[in-house]
Structure 1
Amino acid sequence: MKTIEIYDTTLRDGVQDVEINLSLTDKLRVAKVLDDLGVHYIEGGWPGSNPTDKQFFKEMQNYELKHARLAAFGSTHNPKHKPENDANLKSLIEAKPAVATIFGKSWDLHVTDALRIPLERNLEIIKNSIAFLKPHFEDVFFDAEHFFDGFKENRDYAMAAIKAAFDAGAGVLVLCDTNGGTLPDELRSICDVVRQELPEARFGIHTHNDSDTAVASSVEAVKAGASQVQGTINGYGERCGNANLCSVIPALELKCGGEYRCLPEGKLSHLTTVSQFVNEVANLRPFLRQPYVGRSAFAHKGGIHVSAIQRNSRTYEHIKPSQVGNEQRVLLSDLSGRSNILEKAKKFGYKLDREDALVGELLAELKDRENRGYEYSSAEASFELLFYRIMGWSKRYFTPINFRVTDALMQGEEVMSEATVMVKVRGQVEHTASTGEGPVNAMDRALRKAVERFYPCISEVRLTDFKVRVLSGTTQASPGTASHVRVLIESADKDSRWSTVGVSHNIIFASWNALVDSLTYKLFKDDPRKWPNHKS
């Protein structure tokens, strides 16, 4: 089995994504998780480019990595300087990582038009930079920037650039598809040439996703002999992103006949958790349909599909979800059949018969509600509450009586929202009021104020997402402002996330229903005495 070195550049190339801005603390947290995952290299940043990256390397000197080696990124020296006088190279040495990775020009267009120096001078710069750095690091890697574009326009010069790096002692020659425009078959053929002309060199691959083929190209490069893959968690990066390590790693470990090993034994099953963690730190919503680690990667909605996976999951799943730490999900919608209901009941601990009257009742109720605009495939908490109510659960933690919301334009521009709420909690009627940043926030605050005194755990709930969708075709109402709307609310506490739904022609009432379900679900899932407990 061949070991493929995983070189993670989330903390450098990944943060060039337009939506990402990581603090020093964020970067330290991500580095620890990547080390726990077992990647071989963590590229912490470019210490010569900004204070945060410089401080990161300083702080990392206090950490002892268990699996990974720390790498710092930089460029070849300025053409106007000698290596020993170049501030960029000096900053790499001062950062004290195990590995230095420097990029240099391998496309003659960049040498003549960007650097504006003779082609031979660029080769000298590559050699001199690597030779200067070698004594200060365990290894020096050379990123051949724009290698594939350069190869296609001037093969001899692109090869001369990486040969110069190899002759100077670069441990790995990293072939970069910097513009992301090279398709996998073409990239593979170029890698084959590199292997033939430099058989004694180790080479790696660094692809960008501008043609949506970065993962496929990385796999092809490995098959051509690359021993290192550079990429980012969740494919973060500038423009269209980098090769997604959350896809590259399982593709190599699970799809290539056991030929490659990327992570230590047992670590592949941590991949989904790492993906979610990095999403959280980056404050980005997860891509639900992301292969392998996305929440919808193993989600099944059609009744025929569900019926098949109940017999054999291989019918509609290319791997076992647990191999990458993910899980199978069965969704509920107007496409659902009895198989979906039975599978959901099994998840909740009920063994129901296909012909059970409750199954038919639940299926009919589900389809009726979805016909009115409810969406339970993305609001599973609301469905779980509906399921238990039909099964006979009658406990009410609180009972809404009424609410009122007012909006007023104040001082010409500022709008004030105020909500009053009346609910019955443990036999007592609570009547509360609150202002808020908009009507939904005001309702949320007032409802919490009424319930939290009886259930302190409500304070743990935070609203993480709020979506409004205008529905068409659900009623005969006039279009536009008279349409029905669907409100989806995602909530979270310290342990989990859940989604709830409300539907009405009145957006405030739809929001109210989703909010009530959200708080009810929190109390329901935390209740050790919720009925029934036998789940037979």
Structure 2
Amino acid sequence: MEKVYIYDTTLRDGSQAEGVNFSLEDKLRIAQKLDEFGIDYIEGGWPYANPKDNLFFQKIKGMNLSHAKPVTFGSTRKPGKSVKEDKQIEALIKAGTPVVTIFGKSWDMHVTEALKTTLDENLDMVYESVEFLKKHVEEVIFDAEHFFDGFKANPEYALAVLEAAVRGGADWIVLCDTNGGKLPHEVYDITKHVTERFPQVKVGIHAHNDSETAVANSIMAVLAGARQVHGTINGIGERTGNANLCSIIPNLQLKLGFKVIPEENLKRLTEIARFVAELSNMPLPRNMPYVGESAFAHKGGVHASAVMKKALTYEHIDPSLVGNRRKITVSDLAGKSNLIYKLREFGINVDENSPELLRLVERVKELENEGYHFEAAEASLELLCKRHFGLVKDYFDFDAYRVLIAKRRNDSLPTSEATVRLAVEGVDEHTAALGNGPVSALDRALRKALEEFYPNLREMQLIDYKVRIINESAGTSAKVRVLIESGDSKRKWGTVGVSENVIEASWIALRDAIVYKLMKDEEEAS
């Protein structure tokens, strides 16, 4: 198997995504994960640009990475300045990494318009910077910025820039689609031209996703001879992002037979995608290939039935190869096959011709028609199924709730108060609580009534709350759907409630969230 080297720039290019701001600790934790995963190069940042990156390179020296090479990033020397006097070049060397990557202009328009220098001076900048760095570090990678645009505008000059880097001793020349505007066939043809022109030099690809082709462009470059691929976890990056390594790695390894990362590590791909999503505060899209929650989800009854017989019918790979899992959802499009699969997940075995199963299918479809959404609320679905078969005990007997919202003349915000009456094992409880909103107050009052009997509820948290109007044309009589995400130290779960009254919809979802927590804890204890 031929090796393709993965160069991760999540900590540098990825951190330039709008809304992403990694702390120093975040960067170190991500670097550790990338190393354990089997990434070959980890670009940590630009040491001359900010103090955080300087600290990162100091700290990473003590991490004893087992596989990855840390990389500093910078640019060629400035026009008209000696390379020995360039403070930015000096900072790259002082960072002490075994690998340095510098970028240089390969599009003649950028040289004359952005750098305001001559084409010959730019060639000298590339050659002298690479040659100087090569005397001080083990490995120098040259990023030919805007290479594909430069090649199309002036191929002779773009190739001359690569030639200058090669003469300087660059270990890799990386072709950058910096504007992200090129299509796969162009990337293949141009990369092929470069690999044939410089057969003695290792070539890489650095693609951006402005045309939604960064993954395809990276793969086509590899097919044309590139053996280093730059990208980020989850494709985060400036504008529309960088090439998504979470798609590139399995495509190259599972589909094309290249050696990319250790085979046993590939099953950690979903884990690392979610880890970076959490630290970057960029939620992982559910439909992201390979690692998204819906990547192997089957909603239609025909699909579910076929997958249960033979997974290959609607799955391009075994989800476990990348650490993901198959998901059969239940909705108004589902049939018996979907529900049987879910029942088995819930530990309920039922004959497929059982009248009770048919009644449950119809009940699910009725509820979805009313506005319920079980795809995003599997805890409510599990409770529905187990209640249908009499498998959920009554943890409390509900009597009444009341919610009051009041605002006085001098109040900046309304005050919300909720009262709840219920009984637990014959003991009546009547509690009241304030909250920063009516749902918050209702949640606190309900828990206040139950925590004496079920102390484990104290570790439960309400993580997210969403309201959606279902039939907008009905005006003030429209139904609303409330989705609540809850969690504890072990798991997260979603519940749903539907009503014409937003408080009642919230109550239904809150009640299910608490009952689910109690049921699961009891199942684990037994």
Superposition map of 1:256-271 within 5 A: 256=256, 258=257, 260-271=258-269
Distance in 2 between residues matched to 1:413 and 1:480, nearest whole Å: 29
| 11-20 or 427-436: bigger deviation | 427-436
Distance in 1 between residues matched to 2:35 and 2:97, nearest whole Å: 15
> Is the aligned partner of 1:85 residue 2:85?
yes
User: Residue in 1 aligned with 2:172?
Assistant: 172
How big is the shift at 1:66? 1.0
Equivalent residue of 2:433, what SS?
strand
How big is the shift at 1:412? 5.2
User: Residue in 1 aligned with 2:110?
Assistant: 110
Equivalent residue of 2:175, what SS?
strand
> Is the aligned partner of 1:281 residue 2:279?
yes
> Which of 497, 501, 510 is the matching residue for 1:502?
497
Superposition map of 1:256-405 within 5 A: 256=256, 258=257, 260-405=258-403
Question: Are 2:392 and 2:519, in contact at CA under 8 Å, matched by a contact in 1?
Answer: no
| 361-370 or 515-524: bigger deviation | 515-524
Superposition map of 1:167-206 within 5 A: 167-206=167-206
| 269-278 or 411-420: bigger deviation | 411-420
Q: Indicate how the Cα distance of structure 1 residues 348 and 528 shifts in structure 2: closer, same or farther if over 3 A, else same.
A: closer
Distance in 2 between residues matched to 1:126 and 1:461, nearest whole Å: 58
Q: Indicate how the Cα distance of structure 1 residues 427 and 29 shifts in structure 2: closer, same or farther if over 3 A, else same.
A: farther
Distance in 1 between residues matched to 2:455 and 2:139, nearest whole Å: 55
User: Residue in 2 aligned with 1:515?
Assistant: 510
Question: Are 2:484 and 2:495, in contact at CA under 8 Å, matched by a contact in 1?
Answer: yes
Distance in 2 between residues matched to 1:136 and 1:454, nearest whole Å: 68
Distance in 2 between residues matched to 1:136 and 1:449, nearest whole Å: 66
Question: Are 2:383 and 2:392, in contact at CA under 8 Å, matched by a contact in 1?
Answer: no
Equivalent residue letter for 2:260: C
User: Residue in 2 aligned with 1:220?
Assistant: 220
How big is the shift at 1:62? 1.6
How big is the shift at 1:352? 1.8
| 27-36 or 413-422: bigger deviation | 413-422
Deviations 1:51-88 (A, max 9, x none): 21111111112211011111111111222422222121
Distance in 2 between residues matched to 1:400 and 1:38, nearest whole Å: 54
TM-score norm. by structure 1 comes to 0.95
User: Residue in 2 aligned with 1:469?
Assistant: 468
Equivalent residue letter for 1:41: Y
> Is the aligned partner of 1:434 residue 2:429?
no
Distance in 2 between residues matched to 1:426 and 1:58, nearest whole Å: 60
Distance in 1 between residues matched to 2:310 and 2:265, nearest whole Å: 26
Q: Which runs of 5+ in 1 are unaligned?
A: none
Distance in 2 between residues matched to 1:32 and 1:328, nearest whole Å: 28
| 61-70 or 414-423: bigger deviation | 414-423
How big is the shift at 1:494? 2.4
TM-score norm. by structure 2 comes to 0.97
Distance in 2 between residues matched to 1:44 and 1:430, nearest whole Å: 57
Distance in 2 between residues matched to 1:425 and 1:163, nearest whole Å: 80
Equivalent residue of 2:279, what SS?
helix
User: Residue in 1 aligned with 2:255?
Assistant: 255
Equivalent residue of 2:405, what SS?
strand
How big is the shift at 1:502? 0.5
> Is the aligned partner of 1:75 residue 2:75?
yes
Deviations 1:295-354 (A, max 9, x none): 000000111111111110111001110111100000000111111111111222233211
How big is the shift at 1:529? 6.7
Q: Which runs of 5+ in 2 are unaligned?
A: none
Identity of aligned residues (%): 52
> Which of 461, 475, 494 is the matching residue for 1:480?
475
How big is the shift at 1:469? 1.2
Distance in 2 between residues matched to 1:409 and 1:99, nearest whole Å: 63
User: Residue in 2 aligned with 1:246?
Assistant: 246
Distance in 2 between residues matched to 1:63 and 1:151, nearest whole Å: 40
Tell me how many residue pairs correspond in the alignment. Answer: 525
Equivalent residue of 1:44, what SS?
strand
User: Residue in 2 aligned with 1:141?
Assistant: 141
Deviations 1:145-187 (A, max 9, x none): 1110111101111111111111101111111000000000111
